[in-house]
Amino acid sequence: MSGARALASARRRRAAPDASRPNQPPPPKVNQQNARPPLPPGAVSEQQKKLNNPTAMLLNHNKVLENLQEVVSSLHEKVNNQDDEMNQKIKDLSLDETNIEFFKEKILNIERELNTIKRHILKVQTFAMETNVQCIELRKKIDSPEISVEEQQNQTHEITELLSIAEEEHDEDDNEFA
């Protein structure tokens, strides 16, 4: 075999398919997430049957629209009912002149009672301060050795009388506000 003949036969072998290998296309790559089992050639899926018939498609769309209309109408009815209820509640809460007068009267009564309580507290505080001052004076007199026992007893009687008079005045003031 000459060199030219050898090159020509090599080209033929490379260009022509090999007889030992059958001529098959490579297997298709299948995405496993979207893989569906293959349907038999004569079978058509249920969904395709439904969608192939225009009348069935029209009826299906009609059912969907009717359902949507029912949902919208029920929602509209609920909103209207709630709106009516809210309006009624707002009407019931409205204040008229009698309600306002009632609350004004209550506030005035509370103010009067607070003023009375303030006066009582001031009187009790004054009485307590006077008593404290008198007790301090009494303590000073008792502690001082210059005063005799008889003088101390006389002063004690005077202070006792003052305290009883102050207590009687306090009781009269309490009766005045009761």
Pick the closest to residue 138 from 127, 115, 154 (CA basis). 154
Is residue 162 included in any domain, yes or no? yes
Question: Do residue 110 and residue 151 come from a single domain?
Answer: yes
Q: Is the dihedral of CA 156, 162, 166, 171 positive or negative?
A: positive
Compute the residue count for the chain: 178
What pLDDT does residue 133 have?
Answer: 93
Token pair for residue 52? 């192939």
63 and 136 housed in the same domain = no
Interval 36-78: pLDDT, tens: 555 555 555 665 555 568 888 888 999 999 999 999 999 999 9
Longest CA pairwise span in the chain (Å): 167
Residue 128, in any domain of the structure? yes
74 and 100 part of one domain: no
Which pTM value belongs to this model?
A: 0.34
Q: What amino acid occupies position 149?
A: V
What total of structural domains would you count in the chain? Answer: 2
Q: What is the pLDDT of residues 100-114, one digit of tens each?
A: 888 899 999 999 999
Task: Tell me the residue range of the domain where 176 lies.
Answer: 96-178
Which of 94, 109, 132 represents a domain boundary (last residue)?
Answer: 94
